[in-house]
Amino acid sequence: MKTILTGDRPTGPLHLGHYVGSLANRVELQREYATYVLIADVQALTDHADEPERVRRNVLEVALDYLAVGIDPAVATVVVQSGVPELAELTIYYLNLVTVARLGRNPTVKEEMQQKGFGAEVPAGFFVYPVSQAADITAFRADVVPVGEDQLPMIEQTVEIVRRFNRLYGATLVEPAALVAKHARLPGTDGQSKMGKSLGNAIFLSDSRDVVSKKVMGMYTDPQHVRADLPGIVEGNPVFSYLDAFDPDAAAVAELKARYRAGGLGDVAVKRRLIEVLEAFLAPIRTRRSELARDPAMVERVLREGTARGRAVVRETLGDVRRALHLEG
């Protein structure tokens, strides 16, 4: 059986972009692959060093999101990163195989640095997080990493590290491949190209019906489409991107698009449909989430057991790595 490893930073609850980019694939593949899902709290500290309580709180929130969307702890292993300190040791060894210049070229890190306004004052831990992510991926010997499009540069850097390691020290690490979802990048409600929890343009899996309705009604559409009878533009219109991703009735969506393009279909009518479509998707997730939230001891147990199972795998990989490096023990 091949192995999947993927994960999320617990800096807030998960949103529709996470679902479309990666969660849906994890749920779909968890029975065909040995699946590990990492709650990357150590990585979350690389840009939230001043908010450890927030990271801690969100470990549980993210775990609830996972279980609510259908990640099944009977088949998939949910691992809390800080419970596997061996990952930090692997990171130290991999740092020798990467140059500072190469890290500076990672487009995702560059974009995030800009977003966070880091400039030259970027925390070193944040700058090197792609290396710790390479440690995560290789420690679990992942063959496949289901991720959103924004994480592709991380997989690319991981592959480089793996090749370099294996060439220098002998075949030790497994080379991973990214698996990008069909609707890899869901735009934000504001029409920005990416939905992000820190961008204020996300619909969260745990949002109530009221909140979802308000967010959808306030969504960016075609700015030229000021009256229902005017023709509108569908491309780059996030309301239609969401329908494409979440409306199971593709024929109905195609018809709506045609009417919107021709003129005669108002934004409000499309948004009303989107609210219903999202509600049909989110209602069962919300119900399951609130049931699970009533039993935090059960969730803690899933995390404890998953972390112990994950740690055992990582220890084996670390043993191989230490042997390859001629280190003690």
Size of the site for ligand TRP (CB under 6 A): 14
The dihedral of CA 196, 198, 201, 204: what is its sign? positive
How many CB atoms sit inside 10 A of residue 29's CB?
A: 17
Judged by CB under 6 A, the stretch of 4-12, 27-35, 211-219, 280-288 that binds ligand TRP is 4-12
Amino acid at 111: E
Within 10 angstroms of residue 153's Cβ, the number of other Cβ atoms is 18
Cα angle at 112 between 162 and 165, to 5 degrees? 10
Rank residues 18 and 225 by Cβ distance to ligand TRP and give the closer one: 18
User: Of 3, 7, 48, 65, which lies in the binding site for ligand TRP, with binding defined by CB under 6 A?
Assistant: 7
Residues for the chain: how many in total? 329
Q: Is 137 in the site for ligand TRP (CB under 6 A)?
A: yes
Q: List Cα–Cα distances, 75 to 23, 72, 207, in angstroms.
A: 15, 6, 27
Q: Which residue is nearest to ligand TRP (CB)?
A: 40
Contact between 151 and ligand TRP by CB under 6 A: the answer reads yes
Using alpha carbons only, what angle is made at residue 45 by residues 197 and 9, rounded to the nearest 5 degrees?
40
Tokens matching residue 221: 């559409």
Among 41, 61, 86, 136, indicate the residue that binds ligand TRP (CB under 6 A): 136
Laid out side by side, the sheet with 76-80 consists of 76-80, 34-39, 3-8, 144-147, 177-180
Binding span for ligand TRP by CB under 6 A among 38-46, 57-65, 70-78, 302-310: 38-46
List the catalytic residues: 116, 194, 197
Region of 95-103, 115-123, 132-140, 225-233 interacting with ligand TRP (CB under 6 A): 132-140
Q: Considering only residues 233-272, where is the footprint of ligand TRP by CB under 6 A?
A: none
CB atoms within 10 A of CB 259: 15
- Does 161 engage in binding with ligand TRP (CB under 6 A)? no
> Does residue 40 bind ligand TRP (CB under 6 A)?
yes
> Which position among 8, 41, 61, 267 is part of the footprint of ligand TRP (CB under 6 A)?
8
Instruction: Choose between 136 and 222: whose C-beta lies nearer to ligand TRP.
Output: 136
> Locate tokens 């969307």: which residue?
69
Q: One-letter amino acid identity for 105? A: R
Q: According to the binding rule CB under 6 A, does residue 43 interact with ligand TRP?
A: yes
| Interacting residues with ligand TRP (CB under 6 A) | 5-9, 38, 40, 43, 133, 136-137, 145, 147, 151
